[in-house]
Amino acid sequence: MIQQDVLQVDNLKTYFHLEEGRTAKAVDDISFKISPGETVALVGESGSGKSISALSIMQLINKPGRIEGGKITLNGEEITNYNAKQMTKIRGNDIAMIFQEPMTALNPVFTIGNQITEIIRKHKKMNKQEAHQHAVDLLKLVGLSRAEEMMKEYPHQLSGGMRQRVMIAMAISCDPKLLIADEPTTALDVTIQAQILDLMKEMKERFEMALLLITHDVGVVSQYADRVMVMYGGQIVEESTVDVLLESPKHPYTQGLLASLPMVDKDVARLGTIKGTVPPAYDFPAGCRFSTRCPHVMEQCLSHNPSLSDIESEHKVRCHLYPSEVEE
């Protein structure tokens, strides 16, 4: 029997309807799957649509944003048309999420204990004492040895790294099958980053969760992910296993991202960045969205956006340079 995917996203589109009739296509037709226990990285520069993709899965898009279309299937059940009440049973319970800014992600006026037991009591049938005990155990599990005291403390009394550990404890508290981590270490000290990522990896293995790891740091991808999706301009432009992607990146954008990665064993001269900036989501160029920055841009790139197609098994690329493409 084929194992059921934890998450399947089909043709998801999330647009922001801005003033003057402009539309920001923040997420424009993305599809992917995550299998149980798998770690999938979603990489791309800031503004490429990673966070909006994650928030769309959670159905946490605020106005003027709106999910325009697509299908989201969780553990075989389609949740696309779930109402607000049904979603509250999914969030925190089946899918948990960790955010980029640990300093602002916790409510400043409630204690750590209050904020963890709240989610436990929402999703699990536990009384106050049981929830308290569960919270303390979780805090210890994520490496906070002062757990019992910390239950009575407020977020401002903890460091960024400690708060992110609290967020992790909260996220794993109801045994979700999928954890979405949106740049969980970007705001942290370099020394703390590896600790937090290692902790997430450990928890993921222990609780057999799948992990969608959002990052703009290709270095993180190589160490923690099984599979990678590269996102640009609201679309996935390349997708493959980590090894293949690092070994032979095909999309000029992926090549640029890898080139900008400082590597100790490589020549410093390789260190470069992609020229130009991400075009705004309400003003993508016609044709390939990367054409304004691509060093290999061709005539057809300016008029036709390539489709995401297999160039070999488990390796998809969205670029006119590769033969197996089917033009849109």
Partner 1 sequence: MHKYIIRRILVFIPMLIMLSIIVFALATAAPGDPFTGKILDPTVDPEVFNEQREALGLNDPIPVQYLRWATAMAKGDFGESMYYKGRDVASLISERIVNTVYLGVFALVLTLIVAIPIGIYSAKNPYSPLDYGATTFGFFGLAVPNFFFGLIAIYVFAIKLGWFPAQGTISNIHVTGFAEFLDRIHHMVLPGITLGLAGTATYMRYMRSEVLDVLGSDYIRTAKAKGMSDRSVMYKHTLRNAMIPIITLMGFEFGALLSGAIITEQVFSYPGLGTLFINSITNRDYPVIMSITLLLGVAILIGNLLADIFYSIVDPRIRYD
Q: Does 296 bind ligand SF4 (CB under 6 A)?
A: yes
Distances (CA, A) of 222 to 103, 213, 293, 309: 27, 12, 25, 23
Options 39-47, 97-105, 257-265, 315-323: segment touching partner 1 (CB under 8 A): 97-105
Laid out side by side, the sheet with 210-215 consists of 95-98, 178-182, 210-215, 39-43, 227-232, 235-241, 315-317, 309-312
Q: Does 47 bind ligand ADP (CB under 6 A)?
A: yes
Options 7-15, 55-63, 159-167, 297-305: segment touching ligand SF4 (CB under 6 A): 297-305
Q: Does 281 bind ligand ADP (CB under 6 A)?
A: yes
Q: Does 278 bind ligand SF4 (CB under 6 A)?
A: no
- Tell me whether strands 95-98 and 178-182 are parallel, antiparallel or unpaired: parallel
Q: Does 184 bind ligand ADP (CB under 6 A)?
A: no
CB of 269 to ligand ADP, least distance (A): 29
Structure tokens given for 316: 């998809």
Q: Are 298 and 304 in contact (CB under 8 A)?
A: no
Q: Which one of ligand ADP, ligand SF4, Mg ion, none is in contact with 320 (Cβ closer than 5 to 8 A by kind)?
A: ligand SF4
Q: Are 42 and 239 in contact (CB under 8 A)?
A: no
Distances (CA, A) of 26 to 114, 217, 237, 277, 282: 35, 20, 14, 16, 8
Say whether 121 sits in a helix, a strand or coil. Answer: helix
Please report, as residue ranges, which positions from 153 to 182 form the binding site for partner 1 (by CB under 8 A).
Answer: 154, 156, 167, 170
| Position among 26, 40, 67, 97 found at the interface with partner 1 (CB under 8 A) | 97
Site string for Mg ion, 47-66 (x = CB under 5 A): ----x---------------
| Position among 170, 211, 229, 301 found at the interface with ligand SF4 (CB under 6 A) | 301
CB of 54 to partner 1, least distance (A): 10
Nearest to 210 by CA among 299, 306, 95, 53: 95
Residue with Cβ nearer ligand SF4 (286 or 298): 298
Q: Are 221 and 18 in contact (CB under 8 A)?
A: no
Options 83-91, 95-103, 115-123, 290-298: segment touching ligand SF4 (CB under 6 A): 290-298
Question: How many C-beta atoms surround the C-beta of residue 178 within 10 A?
Answer: 20
CB of 30 to partner 1, least distance (A): 20
Q: Does 277 bind ligand ADP (CB under 6 A)?
A: no
Q: Does 16 bind ligand ADP (CB under 6 A)?
A: yes
For residues 89 and 311, what is the distance between their CA atoms, to the nearest angstrom?
Answer: 40
For the chain, give the longest Cα–Cα distance.
67
Residues at the contact surface with ligand ADP, assessed by CB under 6 A: 16, 24, 26, 44, 46-52, 65, 280-281
Residues at the contact surface with ligand SF4, assessed by CB under 6 A: 251-252, 288, 290-291, 294, 296-298, 301, 306, 319-321
